[in-house]
Amino acid sequence: MSELIISDKVSPAAKRDILDLNNRIQGFYSGETPEEAFRKFRLTRGVYGQRQPGVQMIRIKLPFGRITAEQLVKIADTSDKYATGNLHATTRQDIQLHFVKLADSPQLWADLEEAGITLKEACGNTIRNVTGSAEAGIDPNEPFDVSPMAYNIFSYFLRNPICQDMGRKFKISLSSSAKDSAFSFIHDVGLIAQNGTNDQGETVRGYTVYVGGGLGAQPFSAQKAFDFLPEEDVIPFIESVLRVFDRYGERVRRHKARMKFLLNDIGLESLLERAREEHKALKNKKFQISQTIPFDISEAYTDRASLTETEILTLAQQQVQADELVDFEKWLKTNVFEQKQKGWYGVNLRVLLGDMNSDTARSLAAIVKDLAGNDIRVTVNQGYLLRFVKGEDLPTLYLKLKALGLANPGFDSTADITTCPGTDTCNLAISSSYGITRALEDVMHKEFPEMIYNQDIKIKISGCMNGCGQHNASNIGFHGSSIKKGKLVLPALQVLLGGGFTGDGIGLIGDKVIKVPTKRGPEALRVLFNDFEANAFEGEYFNQYYQRQTKNYFYQLLKPLADLTEVQDDEFRDWDHDELFKTEVGVGECASVLVDLVGTTLIEAKEKLSLAEENFESKVWADAIYHAYNVLITGAKALLMTTDVSTNTQYGIVNDFETHFGKAFQYEVPAAFALPEATETPFKSLVFSLNKFEPTEAFASYYIATASKFLTFVNDTREAQLQETGEPTLKELTFGQDS
């Protein structure tokens, strides 16, 4: 590996993370770090294995999709240097780089951090990128800008000990208005901005709060937790929920490890009650949201004279050739809107497959510097939003974007399909997403050109049931699948209908209707469009029509396309592929891996103890306490692994440790921290005193010291086990680290 160079511009915390990643990679190459332990580590640093062996996908975490022109150039340059020169925008407003060598990932990260861009916690069992309405701050319908709240949530939980090793990932969204353009109904926590009234009758900012939503093979719509939660209570509430999820959430059965299953098991009231029980232990009982975010430019733009559509078209006639004026007008109607700042315009860029090459990205950055505000937003449908464009500059902007292939009309319309990469790069994908997306968009371009104006029907595609393309949350959704025909297998599409938003703004999960060969996907789309056009009532939304006709109607409508009596040779081949189709699903990279070496687990516990001590020295008592809590959980898990006990939750680990190791661990409890049940279940009492006391220096000191004693007890117990069996001792399993 070449020498790692880290600029002085990189923060100390990020530098430490990058060096840690570099050291772990070296340990992995030398055989000192087991593969599963390393995978778990690298995922939380945004390094994700691809379908192709030996290369990685790097996920760049962009809070609420915000990026500056300079940052876009930095990402483009980085992609040229370490990846393929492509920037892939995702439904979580991230940008992904593919085909990166593992050894290059630390330097790639260091280069991005120079521009204030992180990979930290972009993958793995952490809080994923906090998404937000791309139009936040310029939305004419918003009560206030949710961007500061999104940034505060991101920064508060980044490197926060309560969410570094959860059972599964956790997703948060913020919508700027009741339109819910960030899809709160499919998130673990979804927030929709609204104003409310406090006890003094004053107007205050707050949010409608939803919890427990999620997609995947078993999708759930989120449940409403609060009609209105004041802004200052939002982060404390999220922290409380995270602590509950961390403790009680499933950790072994990956398919049951999302918060939606915990909510389904214990119910909303129990979840909220357990969250309230965590309140005493919180670092912040209230959290005042800073309205200042990095690179904020909004205050620089004051209202100016608005232009009518006619005035803009008149200006366009002076610059745009006559045969292009029709295209300009389509673009103006479908991709441009006036912001809440009068006289300024937001311009959406429709990007096929979410892919943009690096040269295009650099050219776009130059256009932004010249004609727009330096505040680009990646959108949840894999496009980009430019902000603060003058009305008189729209024709010039259009021509510059058109030269880059970025002026296609129909942003976020039926014709603008959202899709994941599918089998192009993903381990879990079953069939090609990119190929069918191109085929469907081609059908609409040639046969249904009016669909660029349709904002009712949204189409989303995923390469498998896991839902990275959000197919469950669309009016017409498809996910990759397969169908057997004799001894051969056909690539197939599972068709889902009725998801997404209804005409009254309610978000729904789509129904699985039928499975058809993937090469018949275009015909399925034709059938659905033609039927809707022929039979829907005037003004009826697609989801209303679906509910009126019922699922069985659409099953019968599409059933002929599922008939395999006659199958063409081409149908045994996926889109963009010449070879015969076969299902090749790899190991998913999002699972929480139970490391099978007890020694490795104890090393983890030792690292957590070091973090607890560091936070104590920094006087961050609450974080120090939570790191010490993780020492207790990890140490107990290590000993339970020696008894072949499989525990599903942290709560279960504590109970099982009591059962199998009884009262073997003894410790002294100061009178100030004694609990009535301590004499009966000493270890359980210790662990769960976590939320019984305020996070003071005194409690932190006691809790960390006791966790340290417990870790010594665990190490001694394990040493005795190894000596009795003749196995290598812990010192021989420390993989080059200090014993």
530-561 residue pLDDT tens: 999 999 999 999 999 999 999 999 999 999 99
pLDDT-derived band at 120 (thresholds 50, 70, 90) equals very high
pLDDT recorded at residue 46: 87
Q: Are residues 648 and 674 in the same domain?
A: yes
**Looking at 529, 555, 572, which one is the last position of a domain?**
572
372's CB contacts (< 8 A; 6+ apart) are: 347, 386, 387, 388, 389, 397
pLDDT-derived band at 273 (thresholds 50, 70, 90) equals very high
State the amino acid at position 449 in one-letter form: P
> What length is written for the chain?
739
Q: Are residues 615 and 710 in the same domain?
A: yes
Q: Are residues 373 and 448 in the same domain?
A: no
Q: Are residues 388 and 436 in the same domain?
A: no
Q: Residue 57 corresponds to which tokens in the numbers above?
A: 């996908």
pLDDT over 90 at 20, yes or no: yes
pLDDT-derived band at 580 (thresholds 50, 70, 90) equals confident
Euclidean distance between CA atoms 717 and 724, whole angstroms: 11
Q: Are residues 103 and 144 in the same domain?
A: no
pLDDT recorded at residue 199: 83
Comparing 29-43, 61-75, 593-607, which segment has the lowest mean pLDDT?
593-607
What average pLDDT does the chain have? Answer: 91
Residue at 25 is within a domain: yes
Residue at 260 is within a domain: yes
How confident is the model over 223-254, as pLDDT tens digits?
Answer: 999 999 999 999 999 999 999 999 999 987 87
Q: What are phi and psi of 286, to 5 degrees?
A: -130, 150
**Looking at 403, 438, 457, which one is the last position of a domain?**
403
CB 173 within 8 A of CB 93: no
pLDDT-derived band at 661 (thresholds 50, 70, 90) equals confident
Pairing mode, strands 459-462 and 418-419: parallel
pLDDT recorded at residue 11: 95
512 bridge partner residues: 496
CATH number reported for the structural domain that contains residue 457 in this entry:
3.30.413.10
Q: Are residues 341 and 266 in the same domain?
A: no
How confident is the model over 281-301, as pLDDT tens digits?
Answer: 999 999 999 998 888 888 889
Query: Which residues of 637-716 form beta strands (DSSP E)?
Result: none
Three-state SS at 370: helix
pLDDT recorded at residue 732: 41
Q: Residue 44 corresponds to which tokens in the numbers above?
A: 């939380």
Residue at 6 is within a domain: no
CB 48 within 8 A of CB 91: no
Three-state SS at 134: coil
Q: Which of 415, 431, 412, 411 is nearest to 423 (CA)?
A: 431
Residue with tokens 């609204």: 194
Euclidean distance between CA atoms 483 and 490, whole angstroms: 5
Three-state SS at 408: coil
How confident is the model over 615-652, as pLDDT tens digits?
Answer: 999 999 999 999 999 999 999 998 888 887 777 899 99
Classify residue 708 as exposed, middle or buried by CB count within 10 Å of its CB (0-12, 13-18, 19+): middle
Residue at 712 is within a domain: yes
Three-state SS at 237: helix
pLDDT over 90 at 517, yes or no: yes
Q: Are residues 397 and 475 in the same domain?
A: no
pLDDT over 60 at 156, yes or no: yes
How confident is the model over 338-381, as pLDDT tens digits?
Answer: 999 999 999 999 999 999 999 999 999 999 999 999 999 999 99
Annotate 420-464 with DSSP letters as a single string. --GGGT-SS--S-HHHHHHHHHHHHHHH-GGGGG--S--EEEESS
Q: Residue 435 corresponds to which tokens in the numbers above?
A: 């190929």
Residue at 645 is within a domain: yes
461 bridge partner residues: 419, 478
Euclidean distance between CA atoms 594 and 720, whole angstroms: 23
Q: Which of 699, 691, 695 is nearest to 671 (CA)?
A: 699
Give the rounded percent of residues in the chain with a pLDDT score beyond 70: 95
Classify residue 619 as exposed, middle or buried by CB count within 10 Å of its CB (0-12, 13-18, 19+): exposed
Q: Which domain holds residue 657?
A: 598-733
CATH number reported for the structural domain that contains residue 16 in this entry:
3.90.480.20
Neighbours of 505 (CB within 10 A): 9
Residue at 460 is within a domain: yes
pLDDT over 60 at 587, yes or no: no
pLDDT-derived band at 730 (thresholds 50, 70, 90) equals very low
pLDDT-derived band at 179 (thresholds 50, 70, 90) equals very high
Q: Are residues 137 and 184 in the same domain?
A: yes
pLDDT over 60 at 731, yes or no: no
CB 344 within 8 A of CB 338: yes
Q: Are residues 398 and 271 in the same domain?
A: no
Model confidence pTM above 0.85:
yes
Q: Are residues 623 and 729 in the same domain?
A: yes
Q: Are residues 379 and 513 in the same domain?
A: no
Q: Which of 501, 567, 484, 414 is nearest to 186 (CA)?
A: 501
Q: Which of 185, 250, 10 is nearest to 107 (CA)?
A: 10
pLDDT over 90 at 738, yes or no: no
Euclidean distance between CA atoms 606 and 708, whole angstroms: 9
Euclidean distance between CA atoms 359 and 293, whole angstroms: 29
Q: Looking at the 3D structure of the chain, how many domains does it have?
A: 5
CB 180 within 8 A of CB 501: yes
First to last CA, the chain: 26
Residue at 587 is within a domain: no
Residue at 2 is within a domain: no
Q: Are residues 423 and 562 in the same domain?
A: yes
